[in-house]
Amino acid sequence: MSSTAWFTHDRFGMFVHWGLYSLAARHEWVQNREKLTDEQYRVYFDHFEPDKYDPRSWARAAKDAGMTYVVLTTKHHDGFCLWDSDLTDFKVTNTPYGEDLLEPFVDACREEGLKVGFYHSLIDWHHPAFPVDGTHPRRDDQEYIAAHQYADIAEYQLYLHGQVRELLTRFGTIDYLFFDFSYKGRKEWWGGKGPDDWDSPGLLKLVRELQPGILVNDRTGVPGDFITPEQYQPSGPMTRDGVPVVWEACQTLNGSWGYDRDNLDYKSPELLIRMLVDGVSKDGNLLLNVGPNGRGEIDPRALEVLAELGRWMDRHERSVRGCGPAEFTAPADGRYTQRGDRLYLHLFSWPMNHVHLPGLAGRVRYAQLLDDASEIRVVHTDPGQTAQNTQMGGQPEGTLTLKLPIRKP
Ligand code: FHN
């Protein structure tokens, strides 16, 4: 296992889903959803020419949003490689663009002082040795299935491990690896694939030999350094066999991982801030996704949201960075994050003039608004008075009350 210290300190990263599906501009599973043959899908390959690709602008957008690591899809389930792999022709260097995309990405991240993350799909619908299953675009094509029914999983493992070796030996230090994904037992997907299909123990051994400090997720089907709840916020700190485990929630901006031109349903900055704070209050990270378009640009709507997050992080970073859960139970519409003797109360709705904090009476020496460092009066009520104290609405014993400015800063 690698040290997760930087990861649980930083708390906030950018996920980037980018590939041929970005030209389809409707979903990264478009090949599966529309059962496109390789020939039909080839049109995106033949027109992949992201002339506006500027990973430095991506890295700056992430940094300005308060993110400290960026995770880019090196290959998604369609099998298209964003680097010059020796193991396939289905790669960016054979498209009209003609150049490796990963080296400029890792260079840009490092130039902006960000950690480098790779996403890599365990699934590969393009590779002939990948046994057809319920995820495969050709799942109903009996002729294709017949032609591939004796797909050699050992050959596929060599390919999978070989490409991971390329990724972890060609681009310097890689800080984070998001494998995606195991689905053993998904009966509707013909049993699905899992650690025995990927040779996950061997794969993880290879990863740790090549990049000893790397953080790897658990989607190989074998426990890794962190777990990855997707598109939901856990109800509390996460555990594995009763032991607390590092976790990171991955979330889209608009419900789609890949660029989805007509999807205008962007999450508000307020909601995303709540997700970030909620996660930290439960000892988790947020990995927020952007899906650049087929020219290599992050959508202006996404950039607006990221900029708003950055403005919030600029003023409130100390309530996130290096923080984790508090020993106290926060009020219903709020969250606590804590770092040392600093307790941060995040209020998702602003009460009229007081907030009552059970169990904190006598525990708080001084309170201030983080936004402008202005003092907040702590209304200490003697335990005997709480029940009768009408101004405080008769709070339970041990409750601390803060008198808040009527206006929300
Ligand atoms: O199938 C993928 C999906 O396209 C996307 O990459 C997400 C991101 O975590 N992972 C898988 C679904 O869990």
User: Which residue shows structure tokens 């106290």?
Assistant: 328
How far is it, in rounded angstroms, from Cα 26 to Cα 257?
10
What are residue 344's phi and psi, to 5 degrees?
-110, 125
Shortest-distance atom of ligand 1 to CA 73: 6
Q: Does the beta carbon of 260 lie inside 6 Å of ligand 1?
A: no
Cα atoms in the Cβ-side hemisphere of radius 13 Å centred on 315:
12
Q: Tell the residue number behind the tokens 């298209």, with chain if given.
A: 80
Is ligand 1 within 6 A of the CB of residue 257?
Answer: yes
**Contact 28 CB / ligand 1 (< 6 Å):** yes
Q: What is the pTM of this model?
A: 0.96
Q: Which atom of ligand 1 is nearest to the CA of 17?
A: 6
pLDDT tens digits for range 221-244: 999 999 999 999 999 999 999 999
Best residue for ligand 1 mutational test, from 119, 257, 290 (most atoms within 8 Å of Cβ) = 257
| Cα 214 to ligand 1 centroid, rounded to whole Å | 21
Q: How far is the CA of 223 from the centre of ligand 1 (A)?
A: 18
Q: Is 250 touching ligand 1 by the criterion CB < 6 Å?
A: yes
Q: What is the arithmetic mean of pLDDT over 148-156?
A: 85
Indicate whether 387 pLDDT > 50. Answer: no
Ligand 1 centroid to residue 256 C-alpha, Å: 10
Most distant pair of Cα atoms in the chain: their distance: 81
CA–CA gap between residue 207 and residue 1 (Å, rounded): 11
Q: Which two tokens stand for residue 405?
A: 């400015």
Q: Please tell me the predicted confidence (pLDDT) of residue 396.
A: 76
Distance 94 CA to ligand 1 centre (A): 25
- In this structure, the residue with its CA closest to atom 3 of ligand 1 is 257
- Select the more confidently predicted residue: 389 or 13: 13
- Ligand 1 atom at minimal distance to the Cα of residue 29: 4
**Mean of pLDDT values over 16-45:** 97
Measured distance CA(343)–CA(318) in Å, rounded: 11
246-259 tens-digit pLDDT: 999 999 999 999 99
Picking from 120, 223, 245, the residue whose alpha carbon sits closest to that of residue 174 is 120
Answer yes or no: are the C-beta atoms of 275 and 13 closer than 8 Å. Answer: no
User: Is 378 within 8 Å of 400 (Cβ atoms)?
Assistant: yes
The residue whose CA has the least distance to atom 5 of ligand 1 is 257
Strand ranges across the sheet with 115-121: 215-216, 176-180, 115-121, 69-75, 12-16, 284-290, 247-251
Q: Which residue has the tokens 């123990």?
A: 201
Closest CA to 254 of 24, 61, 77, 26: 26
Q: Which residues fall within 8 angstroms of residue 7, CB to CB, at 6 or more apart?
A: 69, 176, 215, 225, 226, 246, 248, 285
Residue 146: Cβ within 10 Å count: 10
The verdict on the CB of residue 183 being under 6 Å from ligand 1 is no
* Model ipTM value: 0.99
Distance from Cα 199 to the centre of ligand 1, integer Å: 20
Phi then psi for residue 121, to 5 deg, are: -80, 130
Ligand 1 atom with minimal separation from the 76 CA:
6
* Substitution site in 135, 136, 230 for ligand 1 pocket (most atoms within 8 Å of beta carbon): 230
Give the integer Cα–Cα distance in Å for 167 and 83.
Answer: 8
* pLDDT tens per residue, range 259-302: 999 999 999 999 999 999 999 999 999 999 999 999 999 999 99
Average pLDDT, the chain: 94
Q: Which secondary structure element, helix H or strand E, spans residue 357, and what is its range? A: strand 354-357
Q: Which two tokens stand for residue 286?
A: 């947020």
Rounded Cα distance, 214 and 211, in Å: 6
Q: Which of 31, 181, 226 to mutate for ligand 1's pocket (most ligand atoms within 8 Å of CB)?
A: 181
Cβ atoms 128, 170 nearer than 8 A: no
The predicted pLDDT at position 186 comes to: 82
Residue whose structure tokens are 């020939």:
39
Q: Which atom of ligand 1 is nearest to the CA of 228?
A: 9
Q: Measuring from atom 6 of ligand 1, which residue has the nearest CA?
A: 257
**How close is the Cα of 180 to the center of ligand 1, in Å?**
7
Look at residue 382 in the predicted model and tell me its pLDDT: 58
DSSP character at residue 91:
B
Say whether pLDDT at 67 is over 60. yes
